[in-house]
Amino acid sequence: MTEAILLVGGKGTRLRPLTARTPKPMVPAAGVPFLTHQLARARAAGVEHVVLATSYLAEVFEPYFGDGSALGLSLEYVTERDPLGTGGALRNVASRLYSGPDEPVLIFNGDILTGLDIRALVATHTASGADVSLHLTRVADPRAFGLVPTDGDGRVTAFLEKPGAPEEIVTDQINAGAYVFRRSVIDAIPAGRPVSVERETFPGLLAEGAHLQGMVDSTYWLDLGTPQAFVRGSADLVLGRAPSPAVPGRCGERLVLPTASVAAGAKLTAGTVVGEGARVGAGARVTGSALLAGAVVEPGAVVTDSLIGAGARVGARTVLSGVVVGDGAVVGADNELREGVRVWCDAVLPAGAVRFSSDA
Ligand code: GDD
Ligand code: MG
């Protein structure tokens, strides 16, 4: 049986909310909780058993995904009492795996949207006989990631997590957050204490002479770490640029969930999603944005590259660009908010309160 571990815990995931009472993996992207896309892609690649390793609020995942059967998966949940780090989380779920010691186990960071050919990563792993195989991608600025230089055969020569010193920026190849581990390598991670797979396990394995294989793949790849990236990812799912079998509808300029309502003359483009029960008024223009369940965009509003939280309201003629409006918040009519503004959950901005000005 092909199995996978999905890492959805850690400190940052909940403490840096998008909008959001909901933890990030459960915030809808293209109409369904983000995690659904990762689970559905894993299933499509032949994965049957997934262990969700989390360090908080397993109770938000389980009521939604249950035993996984709706996705054709067998799904289990393991919650750490205190976050164990990426490596500690893997070791902590090792007893749930069915694979034999030499069999491959897939591992996914829970905040990545990618078109990775998962079967090809497993095939590379098997063909090379590696202990661990890593999906690598190239980025313009690798500093916020794990840098992974490889030799001419794709064999990993070093693993440098978020290097600070300029001389450590030795490659633009980064760890894309999808691995295949030989099962026995997971069992060998120390138990009962925090371990970082990036800072401890990978460098340790390399020092011991283990075989880490990189597979550079330039398919769609996005780390959803920031709200702006999350909005981008949702739009790319709707547009079909980011492939996922879990998008609930046909890909195109917009995705309007069946219970949403869009007035005649409203214009929805560039991968906009209108969530369950959300409403868009006449003459509104919504571009590349995600309106979560029950959100309201009133007539004449112009919303671009923004995330409008569950039950939030954008007043008539208000202009938003690159903004996150928290769940339940109200931005009154005739406001103008731009790049990077976050309106906290349930906050209320009166009509005509803020305009943006670039003049001196
Ligand atoms: N269960 C559990 N417990 N999961 C954890 C823990 C933990 O203590 N800590 C982190 N995770 C999960 C996160 O939920 C996330 O899905 C994944 O592990 C990676 O953690 P992040 O905190 O998002 O790390 P990052 O984005 O700074 O860096 C990682 O991802 C980059 C690619 O986006 C590293 O793996 C980098 O090397 C990589 O380049
Ligand atoms: Mg991350």
The reported pLDDT for the residue numbered 19 is: 62
Residue 24 annotated to the active site: no
Domain ranges within the chain, ordered by starting residue: 3-223, 253-349
Dist. CA 10 → ligand 1 center (Å): 7
Rounded Cα distance, 48 and 318, in Å? 47
Rounded Cα distance, 197 and 247, in Å? 31
Nearest CA to ligand 1 atom 17: 109
Rounded Cα distance, 172 and 357, in Å? 37
Dist. CA 203 → ligand 2 center (Å): 19
> pLDDT truncated to tens, each residue of the chain (360 aa)?
799 999 998 865 544 556 666 778 889 999 999 999 999 999 999 999 999 999 876 778 999 999 999 999 999 999 999 999 999 999 999 999 999 999 999 999 999 999 999 999 999 999 999 999 999 999 999 999 999 999 999 999 999 999 988 898 999 999 999 999 999 999 999 999 999 999 999 999 999 999 999 999 989 999 998 889 999 999 999 999 999 999 999 999 999 999 999 999 999 999 999 999 999 999 999 999 999 999 999 999 999 999 999 999 999 999 999 999 999 999 999 999 999 899 999 999 999 999 987 775
Backbone dihedral region for residue 297 (phi beyond 0: left; psi -120 to 50: alpha; all else: beta): beta
Rounded Cα distance, 238 and 270, in Å? 8
Pairing type for strands 221-223 and 146-147 reads: unpaired
The reported pLDDT for the residue numbered 136 is: 98
In order of 134, 151, 154, 355, the CA distances from 185 in angstroms are 14, 22, 20, 56
The reported pLDDT for the residue numbered 360 is: 59
Nearest CA to ligand 1 atom 10: 10
Rounded Cα distance, 118 and 106, in Å? 9
225 in contact with ligand 1, CB cutoff 6 A: yes
The CATH number of the structural domain formed by 3-223 is 3.90.550.10
Tokens matching residue 175: 């760890």
The reported pLDDT for the residue numbered 1 is: 74
161 in contact with ligand 1, CB cutoff 6 A: yes
* Catalytic one of 11, 24, 162, 267: 162
Neighbours of 268 (CB within 10 A): 24
318 in contact with ligand 1, CB cutoff 6 A: no
Dist. CA 242 → ligand 1 center (Å): 21
The reported pLDDT for the residue numbered 24 is: 80
Correct CATH for 253-349 of 2.160.10.10, 1.10.10.10, 1.10.8.60, 1.10.3720.10: 2.160.10.10
